[in-house]
Amino acid sequence: MTMHPVRWLHEELPKLVQGGILDPAAADRLKQHYGPPPRSPWKTGAMVLLGTLGSMLLGGGIILLFAHNWEALTRPTKAALAFALLIMAQLFAGFAVLKKRDSAAWTEGAAVFLSGAVVASIALIAQTYQIVWEIDQILLAWVLLMAPLVYALLSRMTAALVWVGSTWWLFAKMEIRDDLVYGLAYLALAALAVPFMVQQFRSHRDEGRTLLLNWTAGLALALGAIRIGVESGDPWRLVLSGLFGLLFLFGVSLEIDGESGAWWRAPFRSIGAIGLTVMLFLFTFREMWGDDMGGTETSDVLTVFLIGIALCALALFGGYRLIRDQRYHQAALLLTPALALIGLLAGRFTNTPSIMAVLANLAVLAVGLTLCIHGFQHHKLGTVNGGLVLLLAVFLARFMDIDLTFLVRGVAFMVVGAGFLAVNGWLYQRSRKEVAS
């Protein structure tokens, strides 16, 4: 690792003074001119991590302590404790806002601690007064009261908590009433953190905290999409594949100069791709194309169908643009929303489930091969393996459907496994040769 020039200068100055090259006053003037050496990024990262973890544990411990529901404490004492905790956390955060704005460890730690104190004080008052509040009401209050802290303390961890709280709220709310309108409310709630995320993404794209925030947001969105998809009744295939398709396309649009970076640096793209792939795999089963998947009773099914169609159409338009840019390996994943749309159109013909399952198997074959070819061409072992795993998974699933003896199955498994190892070995050798040359 190369040393930061200012740190290097600070290490060199005493030697220069000792060697008589610089007099101490000049050395001091140089030190003053360049300022103190910056902390190493890993040190800052570790401090932020420890500060945040410490705050989370402290806040969590206090919540659990209160949750014991001390019978010895009177109602006013419990109420006073709730406020004391909140005010203490606010003073701590106020100090960070006024005096420690440049220390990420302080601002992140204080913001997370205050976020915990907010929910703890509401929960404690609710417990003390036996308030008939459902958990979704507490979560909604929590997210709304926590959101300003994201901007006041520029806290990426709190922004991640806004996503966690919003998603938890969606699950809690839909448990009580499965109306899809809450899906929109969820997006509006989580969107409170979005302007801050955009700003952080522009200025600190590759920092660990930004990645952590984006992974949290991506996973929260995926969970939210699944919850909404499950509740959307018959159009679930359209809604879910459309949502995953758009998440994937959003991730792709964030790539710099069209370069696909490592999967862990692109959370939205990775989570969207996994969602699309898993759905495509599920589509290969005949049962997934049946009519009766349960679902909502409160929402207008026709509206949900129209929303699902719109989501898929948008995803397919994105897919068309990817094809235009010759990014076939990414466009192939959008076969999932395409299948969902075909399934809707083909719904009027007899025996649709079987036809759709066959089409889905062909689509998996296409995606797997496209990924393998792209991986081979660009020497990406991970992409090749992704394609192979997909092909293997669908092969094994179909193989299980057919009534064969264990002997035949065993031999087939061995052949496929050996093929897998051989391809990997060959690719590894090839990449080593390339590195050597």
Partner 1 sequence: MNTRNLMIALFAIAVIAQLAVPGWLLARHETVLRNGEAYRFECMPVDPVDLLRGRFVALRFSEMQADGIPDLDHGIDELFVTFETGEDGFAQVAGAFADPPEDSPHLKIGKYAWRSLANGEIHIDLPFDRFYMDENVAPEAEAAMRRRGRGAREAYLEVRILDGRAVPVELYINGKPASELRGQLN
Shortest separation between residue 218's beta carbon and partner 1, angstroms: 24
- Say which amino acid occupies 161: L
Q: Is residue 275 within 8 Å of 247, Cβ to Cβ?
A: yes
- 305 phi/psi in degrees, rounded to 5: -60, -45
Shortest separation between residue 191's beta carbon and partner 1, angstroms: 17
Q: Which is nearer to partner 1, 182 or 289 (CB)?
A: 182
Q: Which is nearer to partner 1, 298 or 431 (CB)?
A: 298
Shortest separation between residue 193's beta carbon and partner 1, angstroms: 14
- Using CA atoms, how far apart are residues 223 and 200, in angstroms rounded to an integer? 23
Shortest separation between residue 148's beta carbon and partner 1, angstroms: 4
Q: Is 177 left (phi over 0), alpha (psi -120 to 50) or beta?
A: beta
Q: Which is nearer to partner 1, 48 or 117 (CB)?
A: 117
DSSP state of 349: S
Q: Which is nearer to partner 1, 119 or 225 (CB)?
A: 119
Q: Which is nearer to partner 1, 74 or 377 (CB)?
A: 74
Pick from 230, 224, 267, 229: nearest CA to 248? 267
Q: Which is nearer to partner 1, 102 or 206 (CB)?
A: 102
Shortest separation between residue 294's beta carbon and partner 1, angstroms: 22
Residues in contact with partner 1 by the rule CB under 8 A: 63, 66-71, 79, 82-83, 86-87, 90, 93-94, 97-98, 101, 114, 118-119, 121-132, 135, 138, 141, 144-145, 148-149, 151-154
Shortest separation between residue 405's beta carbon and partner 1, angstroms: 50
Q: Which is nearer to partner 1, 119 or 276 (CB)?
A: 119
Q: Is residue 303 within 8 Å of 239, Cβ to Cβ?
A: no
Shortest separation between residue 141's beta carbon and partner 1, angstroms: 6
272, burial (CB in 10 Å: exposed 0-12, middle 13-18, buried 19+): buried
437, burial (CB in 10 Å: exposed 0-12, middle 13-18, buried 19+): exposed
Question: Could you give the dihedral angle defined by the CA atoms of residues 117, 119, 123 and 126, in that order, rounded to the nearest 10 degrees?
Answer: 110
